[in-house]
Structure 1
Amino acid sequence: MIDGEDANSRISPEIRGLDSMKENTLTDRFKMVKNFDLNLLTTFEAVFIHRSGTKAADALGITPSAVSQALGRLRIHYNDALFIRDGKALAPTTVAIGIHEGLAEAYDNMIAKLQNISFDSLPTRLVVHCSPYISMFTINVMRKVLDEIAPDCEIVHSISGNSIAEAEDALIFRKADIIFDIHPHVSHSRVSQHISSEIPVMICRKSHPRLNGSLTREQAAEESHIFVDSESASLLSNRLDVNALLQLDRKCRFISPSLLSIISMVESSDMLAFVTERFYQKMKDSFDIQRLEMEVTLPSQPIYMIYNKAALNNQFFSTLVRKMTDIFMQEFQNNTPR
């Protein structure tokens, strides 16, 4: 048995010097943050994501008053307004944007450690956050890989409401392990992999009184249309691109976030709608719908797989992502027109 003095005597002066430097550095850092409540950073991130004190309070399970108090303390600490009222939303100042960008990776790593999301052993459950439609062709790939590497792992599907804030909230606060979304999440602490591209097609009911198999610009201008409801900037961009390609502003009569609701409305009315080629092929024999060939080539909609970089430090998660990516890329190549 080696006593304390003998053990210490065998440690080289260089090692003792490094330990001392590390201790001094940590001591200095403790002094810097001893009067700063690190919980304020969680409140800051929630407000930054939701652009609303009330929504941030709901996400964190605290009162709006507590959020206001936390922002007040942060404003004093940083000597900056941080968020400025812009209509109904709170717009971040340049200082707030700098704080968010500077802390993003470190904050993500800290949350991962605190929540013990390390997957040192095979996990018993994985949470996937995406819309019901995207889940149709993504979660089955995860299931296929898990059957191979973790057959007892449970998959939990958390439904996205087409809200950017929901997806950001799920990523930052670790409510989901993987997110599938229609827009990339640009961050130093996250990975956004392009795994698929969805091709839009115009549809109407088979018994449409004026249309059969094709649609001209002039006909499109005379008909009523259905839009997909989403906060996604990329979907809005695609909608505007379609209007520009058709050289008209389509008349909207119905808006819904649900492709099933949209396709049901098309079947029972004279309205037109865009759905994806994949969805049309699955539903064309179950609904009274037809595809309309158009004079223009429509822009495709990318699909991304998003996850936190810190999770890749674990061998299980890294293997899961790599094998899923291989399958997605193979399917992507097989479905890409040549």
Structure 2
Amino acid sequence: MKENILTDRFKMVKNFDLNLLTTFEAVFIHRSGTKAADALGITPSAVSQALGRLRVHYNDALFIRDGKALAPTTVAVGIHEGLAEAYDNLIAKLQNISFDSVPTRLVVNCSPYLSMFTMNVMRKVLDEVAPDCEIIHHVSNNSLTDIEESLIFRKADIVFDIHPHISHSRVSQHIADEMPVLICRGSHPRIKGTVTREQAIAEEYIFVDSESASALSNRLNVNKMLQHERKVRYISPSLLSIISMVEVSDLLAFVAERFYEKVKNSFDVQKLEMEFDLPSQPIYMIYNKAALNNQFFATLVKKMTELFVDAHNNDSQP
């Protein structure tokens, strides 16, 4: 019976190049034929030819030019959502992650800041369950596109991000909450210790650059609480760059309290008390569901989650 089913499936796909699905996913992620070609190591012409064959097969444009980007049609979105889990499982099988072998290395994608308190948790667990396993840290550069690509094409085993990556084939696990604080230089000419709403409105700011919708949402929430659009004078993806700029200017910045506590004695900066509470920023641990078929990976995730929960509970105690 199984042989007959497989034979029927072979007949259905015999004229379809399954490599086209990889090209499709790359274009879907990057919204660009050129960027997809770079990611796959092929020419833009090869991507165009692959899209042409897919358009004929599905009798749909699949991607439509929208400014400089390629916007997926509803058919393309349906194909992506329908294939995501199966495609992920296929790559998992090819990489043998469904077996119970212990890997010699794990690749983690996250920002330099998030690595400050996530990598130590992973290293602690690995010292217990796989002391010879090394951790390779890839920096996300705040790019949702890079993170999506790393998950779909398995360039990373685990991602830590402030943005939940919603997908049928992935788990986005809430592991921590970051509390933002407002800081300025210690010798600020107008502010000392506390800041009123009126003072906060009058000052100029530094903003952390990020593609994350969550970070943007927090910025808008602050603007709403201030009842005023903040004037931003400096934008950077680097917290070290930001706090260095705060130290030598009159600009204010919102940074994670955890980061401030680590560096406050190395920089001439002060934390300001405010008239309103700021929204917290959730942190997520993201991985492919298929990876849980590997007993080692499932154990790693479970033990890391327990440590993150314990740390969160300890931080929450008065």
TM score, norm. by length of structure 1: 0.93
Q: Does 1:40 align with 2:20?
A: yes
Which position in structure 2 is the counterpart of 1:244? 224
Deviation string 1:206-232 (CA, Å, 9 cap, x unpaired) is 000000011112111221100000111
| Structure 1 partner of 2:56 | 76
Q: Determine helix, strand or coil for the equivalent of 1:253.
A: strand
User: Of residues 257, 261, 276 in structure 2, which corresponds to 1:277?
Assistant: 257
In 1, distance between residues paired with 2:288 and 2:79? 19
Tell me the SS of whatever aligns to 2:189: coil
In structure 1, which of residues 296, 299, 308 is the aligned counterpart of residue 276 of structure 2? 296
Note if contact 2:99-2:293 (Cα within 8 Å) is conserved in structure 1: no
Q: Distance in 2 between matches of 1:118 and 1:264?
A: 46
CA distance in 2, matches of 1:145, 1:119: 20
Partner Cα separation in structure 2 for residue 304 and residue 264 of structure 1: 27
2:116 aligned residue: 136
In the other structure, the counterpart of 1:177 is: 157
Percent identity, aligned pairs only, is 80
3-state SS of paired residue (1:227): strand
Residue from 98, 101, 105 that aligns with 1:121: 101
Contact 1:119 1:316 in 2 (8 A): no
Aligned-partner SS, 1:294: coil
Deviation at 1:291, TM superposition (A): 0.4
3-state DSSP class of the match of 1:215? coil
In structure 1, distance between residues paired with 2:301 and 2:216: 29
Once the two structures are superposed, what CA deviation does each residue of 1:31-72 show, in whole Å capped at 9, x if it has no partner?
000110101100111111111111111111111111111111
The amino acid of 1:290's aligned partner reads Q
Q: Which amino acid aligns with 1:66?
A: A
Quote how far apart the aligned CAs of 1:301 are: 0.6
- Match among 99, 102, 107 for residue 87 of structure 2: 107
Shift of 1:119: 5.0
Partner of 2:65: 85
Q: Which residue of 1 aligns with 2:286?
A: 306
Structure 2: state its 5+ residue gaps. Answer: none
Report what 1:153 is aligned to: 133
What's the counterpart of residue 27 of structure 1?
Answer: 7
User: Secondary structure in 2 aligned to 1:214?
Assistant: coil
Deviation at 1:92, TM superposition (A): 0.8
Once the two structures are TM-superposed, the CA of residue 312 in structure 1 deviates from its matched residue by 0.5
Q: Distance in 2 between matches of 1:208 and 1:162?
A: 30
* Cα distance between partner residues in 2 of 1:162 and 1:336: 28
Paired residue secondary structure (2:273): strand
Letter in 2 for 1:28: D
1:213-256: per-residue Cα shift (whole Å, max 9, x none)?
11112111221100000111111111111100111111110000
- CA offsets 1:157-180 (integer angstroms, 9 cap, x no match): 011110000110000000000000
Task: Give the 5 Å matches for 1:213-252.
Answer: 213-252=193-232
Deviation at 1:117, TM superposition (A): 2.8
State the alpha-carbon separation in 2 of the partners of residues 71 and 166 from structure 1. Answer: 21
Distance 1:196 1:58 in 2: 35
Query: Which of structures 1 and 2 has the larger relative contact order (alpha carbons within 8 angstroms, sep 6+)?
Result: 2
What is the alpha-carbon root mean square deviation over aligned residues?
A: 0.9
Number of residue pairs aligned between Structure 1 and Structure 2:
318
The Cα shift of 1:266 comes to 0.2
Q: Distance in 2 between matches of 1:113 and 1:170?
A: 17
Give 1 or 2 for the bigger CA radius of gyration.
Answer: 1
The TM-score with structure 2 as length reference comes to 0.98
Matched, 1:166 2:146: yes
Q: In structure 2, how many angstroms separate the alpha carbons of the residues matched to 1:205 and 1:145?
A: 38
Give the superposition deviation at 1:116.
Answer: 2.5
Residues 72-108 of structure 1: CA deviation (Å, up to 9, x unaligned): 1111100011111111111111111110010000000
Whether the 8 Å contact between 2:181 and 2:254 is mirrored in structure 1 is: yes
**Partner AA of 1:280 in structure 2:** Y
Question: In the alignment, is the contact (CA less than 8 A) between 1:195 and 1:325 conserved in 2?
Answer: yes
Please tell me whether residue 325 in structure 1 is matched to residue 298 in structure 2: no
CA 337–72 in structure 1, closer or farther in 2 if over 3 Å, else same: farther
Tell me the amino acid that sits aligned with residue 46 of structure 2: A
**How far off is 1:336 after superposition?**
2.5
Mapped to 1, the partners of 2:132 and 2:214 lie a distance apart of 37
Q: Which residue of 2 aligns with 1:315?
A: 295
